[in-house]
Structure 1
Amino acid sequence: MKSLKAMLRHSLFWPVITLVLLILLDLAHRSNFLAISILEGHLFGAPIDILNRGAPLVIVSLGMTLVIATKGIDISVGAIVAIAGAAAATVLAADPSQVGTAVLAALGVGVLAGIWNGLLVAFVGMQPIIATLILMVAGRGVAQLLTGGQIIPIDAHGYLVLGDGYLAGVPCSVWIAIGATAVTALLMSRTALGLFIRSIGINPVATRLVGLRSNAIVFSVYVFSGLTAAIAGVIASSNVRSADGNNAGLLLELDAILAVTLGGTSLLGGRFSLAGTVVGALIIQTLTYTTYSIGVPPEATLVVKAVVVLLVSVIQSASARALFTRYLLRVIGFGATRPLTGSAK
């Protein structure tokens, strides 16, 4: 019984269950949903497509996780994705052979955007949602200026491989997402950064009083968020073979926040789960795939997504989880004599 209770209370339990239910729904609609085939040495199938399309969201959500863990928020990541893609496309339009320079330019503008957000939040003391809202609005204008208000096509093979190529049969974007996740996880688990970020989220005043440079750490997580958004911008622009300053990364910040919260990271700060974030991003992407595959009209897709997210969020609440746990234990025969009211043990 204790192991069952521990499993039900694990932060990854409900996100994983949600992902499994979505997969089962897809299997009920299409029996070969999980089928993966090999064509010209490349893996193809719905799972591969979900991983490929979800890679930018996974990467952006990693940076968002650390920002939220410090009690912050970054709603400018979608605009940074657009700026990064526009910067890369501008370089490639002048010289398609300058792939390395284009990637560095994209990553550079992402870091600069993160520095801007970090300065406003960590050192100026501006509220995170206001500070990042400034760049969210202005960033689209910057991207439009870089592209001249046009969609710039990208035809540099070396650049297109990043979002549309394959390595060992697996899309390169998936490998990039795996690498970004692994590096972030190592930084959080093998260094003191993870502990510092948690402590800032729990009690920033106490953290500062014990001598920790909390401002510098908050600044660094916004820079990291800008960098991850820029990486996603490179993948996204490579995948669609163009840079669109108006539509690239549109609403991506909302999907990233949803992915982080669905994965069990607390919006109150101090508690985060990178594994949960990855699962949350896969939930969002699988849900998008499911709505289209079962024939939900495009105009109703956002409504369906909102309903599912609402249900999962309610289930993840402490009170709902405790109630469901007691009910489940009662159904399977444990604690049958215990009342359904009262606090969970």
Structure 2
Amino acid sequence: MIRIELGREGLGRTRFALSPLNVAADLLHALRRNPQSVDRPWQARAGEALRTRRLCLLAVLGGGGPHGYAPDFMRPQPPAFHTSVDSALHQVATTSTERIRYELTLALGGHSWDDTPAGRPPRLLLEALQRGEKHLAQRIADEMAQFWQLAFEPHWPRLQTRLEDDIAARGTAIARNGLTHAINQLSPAITWRDGGLDIHTYGPHQLNIDADAVILVPCPVLPWALFCGGDPDDTPDPRAPWICYPSLMPASTSPSLSEELIGNTRARLLAELARPRTTGELAQRLHLSRATVSYHLQILHRAGLLDRSHHSRHVFYALASGADGQPAGVSSPKRST
């Protein structure tokens, strides 16, 4: 678990931000750590971009090292509410030598809390480093620009609207129920407790951070919360912590059945079930309790709108044939939650 001590003043300085380049880095990270969690259209766009432009170094570094950590300089800290792609790419290209060396040490050797033996560094990365950290930063910035152009640029207006709508919805939740309640709704992995944030992670490690603020960044391609930054004071160019959290699904992506007929929650569930998902996965993506999701899934299943299949010990739901005019395709799902 990661613990971020904020206090009331730090909570008051906590803010939201949009970061196009963060979204691109999130997709690379998700594809490496758990590709089955990424929707197929994004898998296809990312794969085509990496393959056609031969962005080999980006694929190696963006997926994270043997311990799962991907260097933070690839996803620069958002200095304002909205940071342009060009500005973020400039931040990447001008990252200090000391910062790059520090982050690559973490990526290849692991954090101090992780004693898992590290594998041999990728040959491609070692070859790039032979030309120096500055060359590495500029090459990553160039490959990130190409990846963004092919995989994201045509879709960004729609994605930006979705992310702005997400932040607006969080603002409404803050106005109605307070900031603490809104933070607790970002992800099942994030909890406000006793003047700070608990971020529940996989693995036994513990990390405690004192911070003046946290930046909250919505992401349309991540199904889980991702922690970045939060460096000790003696770190080269220390960065404040920020959290990428899964953004809400827009109501406009619902199937042909209208919200007025089936309700907002069930419309959002149907929008998520173009591919098979478990109750737990749906609860995490939509920031709902498992009990709430299970209740609505049972009603949709009895109405004939969903197919249900068993794989190992898990139950998967998907749109039934005819629910959106397409087959459900629920054979042998691989991902479990």
TM-score by length of 1: 0.27
Q: Which has the higher helix share?
A: 1
TM-score by length of 2: 0.28
The structure having more radius of gyration, on CA atoms, is 1
Q: Whose relative contact order is higher, 1 or 2, with alpha carbons under 8 Å and at least 6 apart? A: 1
